[in-house]
Amino acid sequence: MSAGAELARPVFRRGPAPLAWPRTLLTGWFFQLKMQAQSGFMVLTALVQPLIFASIAMTDQQAGNRTLPLLYYALGAGIMGIWSTVVFGCGGVISWQRHQGMLEPLVMAPAPFVLVLLGITLGTATVGLYSMGATLVWGWLVFGAQLHFASPLLFVAAVVVTVVSLGLLGLVLGSSFVLYRNSNAISNMLEYPVWLITGLLVPLSLLPGWTHPLAYLLAPTWGVEALRAAAIGGDSAIPLLWCLVASAGYLLLGIWLVRVVERRARQHATLNFQ
């Protein structure tokens, strides 16, 4: 190929139009997965931190007088890890893009910004799967948790739906973080309240009634319920369905929010604010 023809070739190959969006999403997801897997902070958030919380919960369970199974805590701690990676990953990635001066080019690129963000948040949520695997293996090895899944297929389906729903919830958070310069502070504060009110380690019945409507709006509530039902026994179809409904809601809200904040950030020239 001559030098002229080489220069004339587009940098990004344009495929059939229907495949352009999935390709953008898939590329963003994979790129994010590779980046996050090499970040010491994310590995800590996804691996070490959930193991510590799982150990605390399981030790307390063994010392206490309640009889919730250890698997109950292992699964809850796993979702805690996914939530942490989402909440820090979404806020952190956008701050980092802004810090690197990449946020403006991403917003200005022809690919819809919402797809770029969605790839980032889904990739981040997928990294959180480390947590799920780690807490299950840790619970089995160290605490002797029984890893007999009542319905393995439904369990896998519940894992996939939960990760996607958390990634979509991350999209809602991430789109808000674009405008907020102190997003890492909000990330720092958002971990514990969501862990608490979504019943990841504490049954919802122990929490005050006014927290329940909030819990029902958050995907981790339904995700962990579906996972527990599929693993320990129970009906996982209803929580799975609610998780999907919540995901659809997050997607619509995320698309709207991204559009609004993108326009506002362009109008006020706040995209590159440090």
Of 125, 127, 146, 124, which is closest to residue 74 (Cα–Cα)? 146
Q: What's the rounded Cα separation, in Å, for the pair 97 and 174?
A: 12
Instruction: State the nearest-atom distance from the C-beta of 55 to other proteins, in Å.
Output: 6
Angle value at C-alpha 257, between 251 and 262, nearest 5 degrees: 125
For 207, the token pair is: 């929490």
Question: In this complex, which beta carbon is closest to other proteins, that of residue 38 or of residue 267?
Answer: 38
Residues forming the site for other proteins (CB under 8 A): 40-41, 44, 48-49, 52, 55-57, 59-66, 68, 181-182, 184-186, 188-189, 191-193, 195-196, 201-203, 206-207
Task: Give 13's contacts (C-beta < 8 A, 6+ positions apart).
Answer: none
Instruction: State the nearest-atom distance from the C-beta of 231 to other proteins, in Å.
Output: 18
Instruction: State the nearest-atom distance from the C-beta of 77 to other proteins, in Å.
Output: 11
Question: In this complex, which beta carbon is closest to other proteins, that of residue 55 or of residue 151?
Answer: 55
Question: In this complex, which beta carbon is closest to other proteins, that of residue 62 or of residue 272?
Answer: 62
Instruction: State the nearest-atom distance from the C-beta of 91 to other proteins, in Å.
Output: 11
15 — phi, psi (to 5°)? -95, -170
Of 231, 229, 252, which is closest to residue 241 (Cα–Cα)? 229
Question: In this complex, which beta carbon is closest to other proteins, that of residue 48 or of residue 109?
Answer: 48
Instruction: State the nearest-atom distance from the C-beta of 52 to other proteins, in Å.
Output: 5
Q: What's the rounded Cα separation, in Å, for the pair 268 and 241?
A: 40
Instruction: State the nearest-atom distance from the C-beta of 269 to other proteins, in Å.
Output: 20
For 47, the token pair is: 């691996």
Question: In this complex, which beta carbon is closest to other proteins, that of residue 152 or of residue 193?
Answer: 193
Of 103, 76, 108, 224, which is closest to residue 174 (Cα–Cα)? 103
Instruction: State the nearest-atom distance from the C-beta of 156 to other proteins, in Å.
Output: 27
Question: In this complex, which beta carbon is closest to other proteins, that of residue 68 or of residue 253?
Answer: 68
* C-alpha distances out from residue 146 to 39, 57, 140, 201, 224, Å: 32, 16, 6, 17, 17
Question: In this complex, which beta carbon is closest to other proteins, that of residue 60 or of residue 235?
Answer: 60
Are the C-beta atoms of residues 122 and 90 closer than 8 Å to each other?
no
Q: What's the rounded Cα separation, in Å, for the pair 236 and 156?
A: 12
For 11, the token pair is: 């940098």
